[in-house]
Amino acid sequence: MVHYRLREEAHRYPDLGLEPLDTGEIKGPGAGREAALAHAIYDAVMRRWITLETVIAPHTNRPLSEMDSTVRAALLAGAAQLLLLERIPPHAAINEAVNWTRSAGKPKATGLVNALLRRVAETVARGEEGWPVIIDGPVTEHVGKADRLPLHDGRVIQLTSEVFSTETLAWLGQATGNPRWLVERWHARFGEQGAIKQALHTLVHPPVVINHTHAEGKVDPPEGQTLTPGERAGLSVLGPHGASPRTILRDRKDIWVQDATSAGALDVLQGIEIRPDLIVDLCAGLGTKTRQLRAMFPEATILACDTNDARAKGLRRVFAKDERTQVLDIEDVRYEAAGKADLLLLDVPCGNSGVLPRRPEARYRLGTEKAGEQLERLTSIQRDLLAQSRAMLAPSGYVVYATCSMDEEENQQIVGWACASAGFKLVKDASALPAGLPGEPPTAYHDGGYAALLLTGAAKSR
């Protein structure tokens, strides 16, 4: 299953899919374990595609980008297991890749897959029992060392040869799996140390954060799990890593999963005397910030919408019993809110440059020649949404404009356009850079993002 999905991704790389891996077809004894392994392989490839191909490339004269997508998928899946999933015996990973290549209709390629993956296996230094030689962190001490492969938890795998470049920016791209263009962009903006932090940050597996700021009563973690207070009051990290939040969320509507930066977007409303009667959440997504707004302004009516059918369906399910929150189509929201909204939230579609650990596929689009086209498309949508929101606002209405982007083109420049061309005034704004390095406690992690509070130009500050 995972190989077939990776074949699809190899065919369309670098424009990778957004939908999660579906393991629902795995049935029978051991299904849970098999599904977990499939997800681990798929996630490892999505996060470290460039790293995996960097390790494979020296052993073939043909660029992997020119290889058949079946062969490319087999090599990536096999290399991910050999390099990143420590407890899988090399022979098992290689045999699985070879057997799938044959069953997928490419029997003549099995020799190539076998030979290349054997060379990859030899790249990993192994101890007496055959397991990889692991070096403890901090990972920052290994930056630029060509024979070190950094892991998400701060440890480093010792390699048998110098696979990566010793030049810092090149090493960051190859060893952390980020396009060189993206690394150079970080370097231009934050300097070398800043680029190192941003690249290493993308390796981290994000924790599950529970927002219990507005909880009615005590929040107890399920048996075998913990809640560790984070840096932001009212937010706690659910542990151990990989723990499912379903049990803790199942019977409660007053807590939800939300990163600290996402929760902090509405901080721009602090110090503002606003008691909205009507709130619009125009890009509600999964409804996380909609829940925040409901808790912050319990007397308000909220109109929420999302143009994605699946997300809209989910919104209706979440707010089915909330009489003061209506989930409508965007045209109905425009009609119902016309000239009446006291507060409008625009959590706009963006390039996701602040949430690359959560959206690893975004880094590949950011590193292509088409990145400029994508940015132009997104900023056009952002300007259009701001222009549309103007007609829904009351004369003294506010807009919270929010992104999970680090890029000024989607943040300050869009707000500047809104003030110059769309009739808004900037009240205040705030930005957060992504934080948390491999090996640091999960409470040190947060996404990157931006938020601005805008006031309709005809209004006066209250």
What is the domain partition of the chain in residue ranges? 1-123, 124-203, 209-257, 259-456
Q: What DSSP element (H or E) covers 52?
A: helix 31-56
343 DSSP β-pair partners = 279, 398
Give me the torsion for CA of 377, 449, 237, 230, rounded to 10°: 180
At residue 433, the pLDDT reads 96
Instruction: Answer whether CATH 3.40.50.150 is correct for domain 259-456.
Output: yes
The architecture that CATH gives domain 1-123 is Orthogonal Bundle (1.10)
At residue 118, the pLDDT reads 98
Largest CA distance in the chain: 74
- What is the Cα–Cα distance from 113 to 108, expressed in whole angstroms? 10
Write the burial class of residue 200 (CB in 10 Å: 0-12 exposed, 13-18 middle, 19+ buried).
buried
- 424-432 sheet: strands from edge to edge: 325-327, 301-304, 278-281, 341-347, 393-403, 449-456, 424-432
pTM above 0.85, yes or no: yes
As a whole-number percent, the residues of the chain with pLDDT over 90 amount to 84
At residue 87, the pLDDT reads 85
Note whether 335 and 278 are within 8 A (CB).
Answer: no
| pLDDT-flagged residues of the chain (< 50) | 459-462
DSSP state of 315: H
At residue 459, the pLDDT reads 44
In degrees rounded to 5, what are phi and psi of residue 200?
A: -65, -35
Distances (CA, A) of 59 to 20, 41, 44, 240, 249: 31, 22, 21, 39, 49
- Digit-coded pLDDT (tens) for 404-454: 999 999 999 999 999 999 999 999 999 999 999 999 999 999 999 999 999
Note whether 359 and 352 are within 8 A (CB).
Answer: yes
- Digit-coded pLDDT (tens) for 384-406: 999 999 999 999 999 999 999 99
Rounded to the nearest 5 percent, the helix, strand and coil shares of the chain are 45, 15, 40
